[in-house]
Chain A
Amino acid sequence: MTTINIDHTSRWFGNVVAVNDITMNVGPGVTGLLGPNGAGKSTLINMMGGFLAPSTGSVTLDAKPIWRNEQIYKDIGIVPEREAMYDFLTGREFVVANAELHGLDERAAQRALATVEMEYAQDRKISTYSKGMRQRVKMASALVHEPSVLLLDEPFNGMDPRQRMQLMDLLRRMGDAGRTVLFSSHILEEVEQLASHIEVIVAGRHAASGDFRKIRRLMTDRPHRYLVRSSDDRALAAALIADPSTAGIEVDLKEGALRIQAIDFGRFTALLPRIARDHDIRLLTVSPSDESLESVFSYLVAA
């Protein structure tokens, strides 16, 4: 069992709080760290990877401190988000160097290159690699010592769908084998496809935690706001408010529109066109007013 324990951890940079009093445990299996850009995912991963000290709280791996403890890297493999590698080396030279730094030999490097299916291009310079190839060589460098913990920061960024599938397969296999795999992403679908467990971070805070069904439900059950214009706003409002799927309606005279807050997303989307037809009302505009990812996330924080 290898578990990362984050205990009441905060991290600030000057006046900016990047991570705000987060407590979570990351255990074996694949965990997705989900949150919008700038939410503090990288800061959190950097603390888990020993590249940043917590301002308060602690980040440990099976009770061993991670910060300023280079022996911890026997158990941790890191796939950084940044592109820069030793571009003047070939893929093989790079992975071999990483193996040697772990006290391993070329065989470990070859095994890792085979795992990520990069043998065919291993003798090309890294500077000639595509983004997906770089990502795979980075993976190989993190896997040479077969770590029990693998940390990946936005690993799917810039990958094409086929590469994405391959990497997901690989991570899934590693999770099934009992390794602790944590990756960050700002895309819900990505996390949903891969992670058995999801941790949601918004604006530096721990917003939600659970399996993807729970997170998905939290996201779809939240109140949805719509801006609706029709041929008879007041008649439409009266008919809608009679149904329990609608929590509130405001007649916005300046905009000449209704602002509707729906609480049962599925029922409301079926109800609106039916009521319009039954009452012979023409719908001119129906637009969700808070569908941005950030608003979805900020709802989760408030919940």
Chain B
Amino acid sequence: MYDPTVARLTYRALLGRRRALILFALPVLLIVIAAAVRGFSGADDQVAVDLLGGFALATMVPIIGVIAGTGAIGPEIDDGSVVYLLSKPVKRPTIIVTKLTVAIAVTMAFSAIPTFIAGMILNGNGQQIAVAYTVAALVASIAYAALFLLLGTITRHAVVFGLVYALVWEALFGSLVAGARTLSVQQWSLAVAEKSAGGDLITSDVGLPVATVLLVAVTVLATWYAGQKLRSLKLAGEE
């Protein structure tokens, strides 16, 4: 279910393109902000939760997920070069699972690691806050990568839809409508973070069992459906 050649091509495509710059820019921004906050106001658990929850988990992780998830397959489908993968005796689900693995690895690397570093800078992992948000970022990376990889296989406007989901649905509707929070990768991963943290600073609207089931279901279904879409992919730009 994993093809090293597909993985190599995907890594190079992801990290070689210009939009990969955002992959580097956002984590740097997070760490700079964390350092500045720590410098101006010292260590404060509530500030750490606000910054890691409000910026790292709510904004940075989904955006990195959009870039890595859609970027792992979208551009190839858009320009037609995916034909070189599809005209090989390689199973379609293998291609998808490989690309998902790469997208997850890239999302984790560019979101969980900087989240952990920022958490350590902010309050030195007081009350397990840095670890909790790192775990949340790791968990969210998997679901986001799967979701946005699927978007990348079904629409040419995957980046736009991905950002709309991440920023409008999760951030805006999620803060206004309580029900929307139940259907939000961010809340599910917060449920995991809640369990990992020591105190009651981190809270989620979703219980851990429900969150776990939904995270697994979304990841598996999105991956399965992406594999199905790839099996009957019509290459764009023909007659």
Contact = CB atoms under 8 A, between A and B. Distances in A.
Chains A and B belong together in one complex:
yes
A52 B87 contact: no
Q: Which of B81, B91, B231, B232 has the largest number of chain A CB atoms within 10 A? A: B81
Contacts of B231: 68
A46 B86 CA distance: 12
**Across chains A and B, which 4 residue pairs bring their CB atoms closest together, nearest first?**
A84-B79, A101-B88, A100-B5, A82-B80
A85 B9 contact: no
A121 to B, nearest CB: 19
Contacts of B233: 51
Nearest to A82: B80
Assign chain A's interface to a size class. 35 or more
Interface stretch (A37-45, A110-118, A228-236, A279-287): A37-45
B13 A88 contact: yes
Contacts of B90: 70, 101
Contact of A76 (B13, B87, B238): B87
Contacts, number: 81
Interface of B: 3-6, 8-9, 12-13, 16-17, 79-81, 83-92, 231-235, 237-239
Given A51-B86, A82-B80, A100-B4, 16 more contacts: A70-B86, A70-B88, A70-B92, A71-B89, A72-B89, A80-B83, A82-B83, A85-B81, A88-B13, A88-B16, A97-B8, A97-B9, A101-B3, A101-B84, A101-B88, A103-B89
A98 interface: yes
A72 B91 CA distance: 12
B152 to A, nearest CB: 16
A157 B22 CA distance: 38
Nearest to B80: A82
A73 B88 contact: yes
B235 A51 contact: yes
27 contacts: A18-B239, A40-B239, A42-B238, A42-B239, A50-B87, A51-B235, A52-B234, A53-B232, A70-B88, A73-B87, A73-B89, A82-B79, A82-B80, A82-B83, A82-B235, A84-B79, A84-B80, A86-B81, A88-B13, A88-B16, A89-B9, A97-B5, A97-B8, A101-B85, A101-B88, A101-B90, A102-B88
A262 B16 CA distance: 62
Interface string A113-147: 00000000000000000000000000001100000
Contacts of B84: 85-86, 97-98, 101, 141
A136 B9 CA distance: 21
A86 B13 contact: yes
Contacts of B87: 49-50, 73, 76-78, 142
A89 B12 CA distance: 9
A38 B238 CA distance: 10
Interface string A61-101: 00000001011111011101010111011000000011011
Nearest to A84: B79
B94 to A, nearest CB: 10
Nearest to A72: B89
Nearest to B234: A52
A13 to B, nearest CB: 8
Contacts of A89: 9, 12
A115 to B, nearest CB: 18
B112 to A, nearest CB: 27
Nearest to A80: B83
B80 A101 contact: no
A141 B232 CA distance: 23
A42 B239 CA distance: 7
